[in-house]
Amino acid sequence: MTRNMQKKSVFSFCKRRFANNLFLPSTLFALLTFAAIKAEIPHLELKAMDRHFIAHYELTDLGTASLNEADLSRLGLKNNLFPLVNNHGKVTVNAGGISYVTLPKTWEFCLKIGTIPIEIYGINDQSDLLVGLKRSKDSIEWMIWPWASQKYSEKRKHVHSIDLKKADLSLVGFNNQGKCLANGNGEEARPYLWEEGKGWQMLGASKGVKLTGHAKGINQCGHVAGIFHDTVDSYPFFWDEDVGLEAMRSYRKELKEKGWIEFTDLVLADDNTIFGTFWVRHGTIGNRPKLYNHYHAYKWDTQTGKIDQLPVEDMRISDVNIKHELVGSWQGQAALYDPTQGAIKLIDLMDPEKTKGWKLTEATSINDKGHIVGYGYYNESLHLFFATPVTVK
């Protein structure tokens, strides 16, 4: 039987097998067809089976940003006011003292307590908010604003009050358990964890560990990751309250680049995998010193200890989802890093007719469904955007 005859025979087989499924979606039909082909002709070459399906995105304009670009960026230690998206597709927007939560094109809730300016620092998958109330020009009150009975409750949980002149703590985020993460701003940087009924505690203190450095994120398991500082070096760490401290001390043996490595971005996935970036302060070519200006990306499996360098250069990383899709900025544009396809500029996954006048600068958050938020320029004016996966290629 020739290959063409084989294909016709298998296609007829698939039509017969699925003939009664009149309402079978085309994508499911295609997958079942491939499965049937493999079952009927195991040796048939099906290169299409190996192709990875990449989502295309639809862009939604969330309006003009009243903050400047430096305040919207998620890259760096400063606790900025970047947009976030949770797994229900709810987006947080800070607009210079007037902040709101929106389900784009559907619903919007403006946070208001009299005339007090409110800023949103986090949203979890219960849609609870971590907010800051500017009670005066010198103080901010942090609190959790719960979502209950399909609306935001009038009862709020006090977390901390900050004297802006001292600024003893800076918020990092919080998770579905309501645990809040912050960094101390004293002479010696220390991460802190807040839990209702326990208040603020130094990370590591429960096990007698002196953990110095900056926390970068907390996942839904309550585990924390960040950059550890000891007397001679700095490197990523992972904290599990049950197990204790894991540190990426072996990075010099695992990473290809040699020299004085500076770790920068770091994100923690819910399966405890850490992704981040670094650059090399100085290195060598032969016997000559060389200055490196490129960012490199890595993946650290905290369960096995394995460290892999990712095949992408000059991408900054803002967030990660459960599929290990990374978002951030690559070559000055908002980007998505797919584990099988590498870095892709987000605007290249959109209909060019619908993105005329846009330059997407940074993607600041991605949820497990692939929704992405960030900021960029529309006709040279700074805007926030929401990107929705709509189809496959």
At 326-336, the pLDDT tens digits run 999 999 999 99
| Judgement on whether residues 311 and 203 belong to the same structural domain of the protein | yes
| Judgement on whether residues 125 and 12 belong to the same structural domain of the protein | no
Q: What is the pLDDT of residue 303?
A: 93
Residue 8 has pLDDT above 60, yes or no: no
Residue 14 has pLDDT above 60, yes or no: no
Q: Which amino acid is at 392?
A: V
Q: Choose between 232 and 22: higher pLDDT.
A: 232
| Judgement on whether residues 18 and 128 belong to the same structural domain of the protein | no
Share of the chain above pLDDT 70, in %: 81
Share of the chain above pLDDT 90, in %: 63
What is the DSSP annotation of 199-267? EEEETTGGGT----EEEEEE-TTS-EEEEEE-SS-EEEEEEETTTEEEE-TTHHHH-S--S-EEEEEEE
Domain-ending residue, one of 18, 33, 48: 48
Output the CA–CA distances (angstroms, integers) from residue 239 to 184, 221, 270, in the order listed: 17, 11, 13
Residue 34 has pLDDT above 80, yes or no: no
Over residues 60-77, the mean pLDDT reads 90
- Residues paired with 310 in a beta bridge: none
Q: Which pLDDT band holds residue 185 (cuts at 50, 70, 90)?
A: confident
| Judgement on whether residues 194 and 293 belong to the same structural domain of the protein | yes
Residue 50 has pLDDT above 50, yes or no: no
Count of structural domains within the chain? 2
CA–CA separation, 359 and 72 (whole Å): 15
| Judgement on whether residues 179 and 248 belong to the same structural domain of the protein | yes
| Judgement on whether residues 287 and 320 belong to the same structural domain of the protein | yes
8 Å CB contact between 367 and 86: yes
Q: What is the pLDDT of residue 392?
A: 55
Residue 284 has pLDDT above 60, yes or no: no
| Judgement on whether residues 237 and 343 belong to the same structural domain of the protein | yes
pLDDT in tens, 83-138: 999 999 999 999 877 899 999 988 899 998 888 999 999 999 999 999 999 888 88
Q: What is the pLDDT of residue 24?
A: 42
Residue 40 has pLDDT above 80, yes or no: no
Domain-ending residue, one of 30, 48, 66: 48
Residues 6+ away with beta carbon under 8 Å from 95: 65, 66, 67
| Judgement on whether residues 148 and 28 belong to the same structural domain of the protein | no
CA–CA separation, 68 and 230 (whole Å): 35
pLDDT in tens, 240-278: 999 999 999 999 899 988 788 999 999 999 999 999 999
| Judgement on whether residues 287 and 187 belong to the same structural domain of the protein | yes
Residue for token pair 């947009």: 83
Neighbours of 131 (CB within 10 A): 25
- Domain of residue 15 covers 3-48
Report helix angle 26-40 to 3-17, nearest 10. 120
pLDDT in tens, 158-174: 998 877 677 678 889 89
Q: What is the pLDDT of residue 154?
A: 80
Taking the mean position of all CA atoms in its chain, how far away is CA 300? 16
Q: Which of 14-28, 36-50, 219-233 has the highest mean pLDDT?
A: 219-233
| Judgement on whether residues 94 and 226 belong to the same structural domain of the protein | yes
CATH number at residue 247: 2.130.10.10
| Judgement on whether residues 33 and 180 belong to the same structural domain of the protein | no
Q: Choose between 182 and 138: higher pLDDT.
A: 182
| Judgement on whether residues 121 and 20 belong to the same structural domain of the protein | no
Domain-ending residue, one of 14, 31, 48: 48
Q: What is the pLDDT of residue 287?
A: 57
Token code pair at residue 187: 């002479």
